[in-house]
């Protein structure tokens, strides 16, 4: 498989020919027809990251309040407040639905 010109060593570009595609060099007259299609997909494995709010353990000792869940319309939700912006900005309130079958998270 060609990626660099065998004559001058510059990188080859792909051009569309009338019937197929070809590798061409911008600096010398080298041309090579592409005979077969080669394609592969490689998906990177994402590294595991910690939950921003501390995971399940962060919700163990929090209070609940009257707040309607946008997913299931349950009337109670657990909440915690975290300073996510600069000190002169208000705290962000995170909610988790008290309905254990729902468990929807949202913020205000």
CATH number among 3.30.70.360, 2.40.128.20, 2.20.25.10, 1.10.10.10, domain 56-107: 2.20.25.10
CA-to-CA dists, residue 42 to 20, 37, 39, 45, 46, angstroms:
25, 16, 10, 9, 12
Per-residue pLDDT tens, the chain, 108 aa: give them. 558 998 899 999 988 877 788 889 999 999 888 887 767 788 899 887 767 667 777 878 888 899 999 999 999 999 988 888 898 999 999 999 999 898 898 988
Q: Residue positions in the annotated binding site for Zn(2+)?
A: 5, 8, 25, 28, 69, 72, 97, 102
- The pLDDT value recorded for residue 30 is 92
Measure the CA angle with vertex 18, ends 16 and 24; round to 5°: 40
Predicted structure pTM score = 0.51
How far is it, in rounded angstroms, from Cα 108 to Cα 90? 11
- Residues flagged as binding site: 5, 8, 25, 28, 69, 72, 97, 102
According to the model, what pLDDT value does residue 2 have?
58
CATH of domain 1-37: 2.20.25
Q: What pLDDT does residue 103 have?
A: 85
């Amino acid at each position: 498989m060609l990626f660099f010109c065998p004559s001058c060593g510059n990188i080859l570009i792909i051009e569309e020919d009338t019937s197929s595609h070809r590798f061409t060099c911008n600096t010398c007259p080298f041309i090579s027809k592409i005979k077969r299609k080669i394609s592969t997909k490689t998906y990177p494995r994402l590294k595991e990251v910690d939950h921003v709010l501390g995971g399940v353990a962060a919700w163990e000792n929090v209070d609940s309040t009257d707040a309607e869940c946008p997913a299931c319309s349950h009337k109670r939700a657990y909440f915690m407040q975290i300073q996510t912006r600069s000190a002169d900005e208000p705290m962000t309130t995170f909610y988790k639905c008290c309905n254990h079958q729902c468990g929807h998270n949202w913020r205000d």
